[in-house]
Amino acid sequence: MADTNNKQVVADIDRSLYDFKDVESEKDFYRMAEGLTEETVLKVSEEKNDPDWMRDFRLECLKLYNDIKVPDWGPSIEGLDMDKISSYVRHKSDMKGKWEDVPEDIKNTFERLGIPQAERESLAGVGAQYDSELVYHNVKDEVAAQGVVYTDLESALRGEYADMIKSHFMKLVPPTDHKFAALHGAVWSGGSFVYVPKGVKVDIPLQSYFRLNAAGAGQFEHTLIIVDEGADLHFIEGCSAPKYNVANLHAGCVELYVAKNARLRYSTIENWSKNMYNLNTKRAIVEENGIMEWVSGSFGSHTSYLYPMTILKGDNSKMEFTGITFAGKGQNLDTGAKVVHQGKHTSSVINTKSISKDGGVGTYRSSVIIQKTAKKAKASVSCDSLMLDSISRADTIPGMDIRTNDADVGHEAKIGRISDEAIFYLMSRGISEEDAKAMIVSGFANPVSKELPLEYAVEMNNLIKLEMSGNG
Partner 1 sequence: MSNDLNMKVNVLPVLTYNFLHVNDSTLQINDFNISDNKSPLAKELPAGVTVQKAVPFAEAGEIFRKNNDRILAPIDGHVDPNGDTSARDKDQALRTGMGADVDGLMISMGATVDIYTVEEGVKADKPIILNYDMKDGDASLSGQVIHARKDSEVTVIIAYTSDKDAKGFQGVSTRLLAEEGARINLIKSQILGDGFVHFDDIGGACLKDGKIDLVTLELGGCKVFSSAYVNLAEKSTAFTSNMGYLVRGDHDLDINYVADHRGKKTEASMQFKGVLMDSAKKAFRGTIDFKKGSAGSVGDEQEDALLLSEDVVNKTMPVILCQEEDVEGRHGATIGELGEDILFYMQTRGIDEEEAKRIMIKARLDSVAKLIPDPEIMQKTLYYIQNVV
The footprint of partner 1 (CB under 8 A) covers 71-75, 332, 334, 338, 359, 361, 363, 365, 367, 372, 385, 387-417
How far apart are alpha carbons 228 and 201 in whole angstroms?
Answer: 10
We find the least distance from the C-beta atom of residue 419 to partner 1, in angstroms, to be 9
Nearest distance in Å: CB 8, partner 1: 13
383 versus 452: smaller Cβ distance to partner 1: 383
Smaller CB distance to partner 1: residue 67 or 101? 67
**Residue 401 near residue 368 (C-beta atoms within 8 A):** yes
Q: Where are the beta strands (DSSP E) in 50-198?
A: 89-91, 125-130, 133-139, 149-152, 192-196
Provide, rounded to whole angstroms, the least separation between the CB of residue 420 and partner 1.
10
| Least distance to partner 1, CB of residue 386, Å | 9
How far apart CA 296 and CA 283 sit, in angstroms, is 13
Contact call for residues 248 and 212 (beta carbons, < 8 A): yes
In the bound state with partner 1, the residue whose beta carbon lies nearer, of 409 and 431, is 409
Q: Minimum distance between the CB of residue 370 and partner 1, rounded to whole angstroms? A: 9
Minimum distance of partner 1 from residue 333's CB (angstroms)? 10
What CA–CA distance (Å, rounded) separates 312 from 339? Answer: 7
In contact, 294 and 320? CB cutoff 8 Å? yes
Nearest alpha carbon to residue 393 among 420, 419, 367, 354: 354
Report the residue number, 255 or 334, with the smaller CB distance to partner 1. 334
The widest CA-to-CA distance across the chain, in whole angstroms, is 71
CB-nearer residue toward partner 1: 21 or 411: 411
Other beta carbons within 10 Å of 166: 14
Q: Quick one: 400 or 427, whose CB is closer to partner 1?
A: 400
Closest CA to 80 of 65, 70, 94: 70
Please report how close the Cβ of residue 17 comes to partner 1 at its closest, in angstroms: 29
Q: Which amino acid is at 30?
A: Y
Closest CA to 74 of 250, 303, 258: 303
β-strands 133-139, 218-219: how paired?
unpaired
Give CA–CA dist 39/216, Å, rounded: 19
At 467 the three-state DSSP class reads coil
The end-to-end CA distance of the chain, in Å, is 15
| Cβ nearer to partner 1, comparing 2 with 427 | 2
Q: Which is nearer to partner 1, 70 or 246 (CB)?
A: 70
Say whether 214 sits in a helix, a strand or coil. Answer: coil
Please report how close the Cβ of residue 470 comes to partner 1 at its closest, in angstroms. Answer: 18
- The least CB distance from residue 384 to partner 1, in Å, is 10
Strands 29-31 and 89-91: antiparallel
Q: Which is nearer to partner 1, 35 or 359 (CB)?
A: 359
Nearest distance from C-beta of residue 400 to partner 1, angstroms: 4
Cβ proximity to partner 1: between 21 and 376 the closer is 376
Separation of alpha carbons 398 and 384, rounded Å: 12
Q: How far apart are CA 363 and CA 351, in angstroms?
A: 14
